[in-house]
Amino acid sequence: MNLRFLEAFLWVARLGSFHGAGEKLNISQSGISSRIATLEMELDCRLFERSTREIRLTTSGRLLVQHAERILEAHREMRDALARNSAVTGTVRIGSIETVVHTLLVPFVEALQQHFPALDLELTAEPSENLREHLRRGGIDIAFQTEPVLDPGTINKPLCEYRMGWIASADIGRISLCDLAREPIITFPRGSQPYAAVEDAFRRVGTVPNRLHCVTSIAAIVRFVRAGLGVASLPIAAIRQELAAGSLSLIDTDVPLAPLRLYASYRPGLSSRLHDLIVEHAEQQVAAYCASEDHPTDIRSLSDQEL
């Protein structure tokens, strides 16, 4: 059971309002409604009686309040115990795709330092395929990458999906994908999720790009595009500063790119509870980003969905 669903339920019960619970948790009213609906479906019972004037707990809802409070209190106690300096020491090795480096990594690491001040971090940024192999071989503890790792016992948590966009050095207005195929296209390496999305987009209009360049680094792709060496497919969240400054522009096309999905993957073991908490911090940073007024559609949270 998702603890965030229980938290949303308790705040609706306490405040008697979906809107008030949303304000308390800094998420939309529709997000609260979705969490309650999912919780009711999972428990196979109605938790609230809804009328035009008030929201009241059902008998099942009143019973759940007691259990939910105990569950969340136990969870808080566990987190407090793990967050003590003497309780969490050592090194956690985290591997991440570069998109996370350009978006969520700094607030994520800040949160980890605040909650686990005695914990040492080893961070590496590599393509997803490399990160999955490092995880299999035990070279890293947690991988933030683009596909579930299907090895037995591996835990995969969907975090979010990044909106992808066609990017140019200047505003060229609306253009068909067939016309865009005449330009040099720059994307991530073969075998990556963005590369497959580019291939699929052109396949849908029955064409292929004249030239397709594969580059691992987002920073390098940005430099190539700014130099006029082609147009690129990039996560919009990773280049917000360049878009705001006008050094890069979004291209309006007739075929959108599939989003870039992000998963947190790790293997259970002696430190798996700590890894659970670290991934929870990542989920919180995703939620905070999604709630930001500056970037409301760059990233869509997937942490409330099942694989």
Mean pLDDT of the chain: 88
Q: How far apart are CA 121 and CA 90, in angstroms?
A: 9
pLDDT band at 152 (very low <50, low <70, confident <90, very high): confident
What is the pTM (predicted TM-score) of this model?
A: 0.70
Query: What are the residue ranges spanned by the domains of the chain?
Result: 3-83, 90-161+261-301, 164-258
Top-tier CATH class for 3-83: mainly alpha
Top-tier CATH class for 164-258: alpha beta
Average pLDDT over residues 153-181: 91
pLDDT at 71 over 80: yes
Q: pLDDT (tens digit, 9 = 90+) per residue, 57-67?
A: 999 999 999 99
Q: Which fold has domain 90-161+261-301?
A: D-Maltodextrin-Binding Protein; domain 2 (3.40.190)
pLDDT of residue 159: 93
Q: pLDDT (tens digit, 9 = 90+) per residue, 264-282?
A: 999 876 567 788 888 888 9
Average pLDDT over residues 204-231: 94
